[in-house]
Amino acid sequence: MSERTAVVTGASSGIGESTARRLARDGWRVLLVARREERLRALSDELRDSAYLAVDLTDEDAPSRVRARVDELWGRLDLLVNNAGWSERADFADGGYANVKRVMEINFDAVLRLTEALLPVLRGSAPSAIVNVSSIAGRVGRAKMGAYTSSKFALAGWSECLRMEEKAHRVHVGLVLPGFVSTEGFPQEQLTRSARTRWIVSTPDKVADAIVRAAEGKPEVAVPRPWALVPRLRYGLPGVARRLSG
């Protein structure tokens, strides 16, 4: 039986599910966290040495509930994968602050609150790791994606700071920056229906591989790797990047 333990949020589908499956294949014991209990139960039944907790991470008591489950199961934690997230497309003039607040609550605030609750366990289990799933949108803005982009920019910046702070405690902090990924929440239908753009859409399995690389010590991983050029273009040739993004 493996001694390595992991919490994966957003584990009921998409990137979270693929990450849980990948970790389980590698021998990890995994706690699956998401809102949809039926899906979590079905996945847990498939995976060896796994458990689940159905919880909305924006609930006030969510961090303490996850912490209590970790303590009950293992009393230690080697990896936290902060993957759960959401997006609502809208111009700021239409969606306003309310839209930004909703997206920030799950994509940023919930990550910080859960990490705060689990950080003492991660420190006590060190060497350990935290992997935060941001987005290429966390480096480059797009129209109608202000709420999502803001939350992912915030997550990327906070991850960089946390990496510096936790290095002395042997808690590695990795950041994963997916580009377009076809998932249940983000089907990318406009891109996948055309052969000209289908190639730029990645899969949850490839992001899961990137999460593993980040957990093993990479500070930042773009998926697919050529997307790492996008932020460089944004900062190296900002005029060109603005023209390309509209």
Give the catalytic positions in this structure: 148
Question: What are 141's two structure tokens?
Answer: 């803005």
Strands 50-54 and 171-178: unpaired
Sequence-ordered list of residues with C-beta below 8 angstroms from that of 225, at least 6 positions apart, any chain: none
3-state secondary structure of 133: strand
Strands 180-181 and 79-82: unpaired
What is the separation of C-alpha 87 from the centre of its chain, rounded to a whole number of angstroms? Answer: 13
Q: How far apart are the first and last CA of the chain?
A: 52
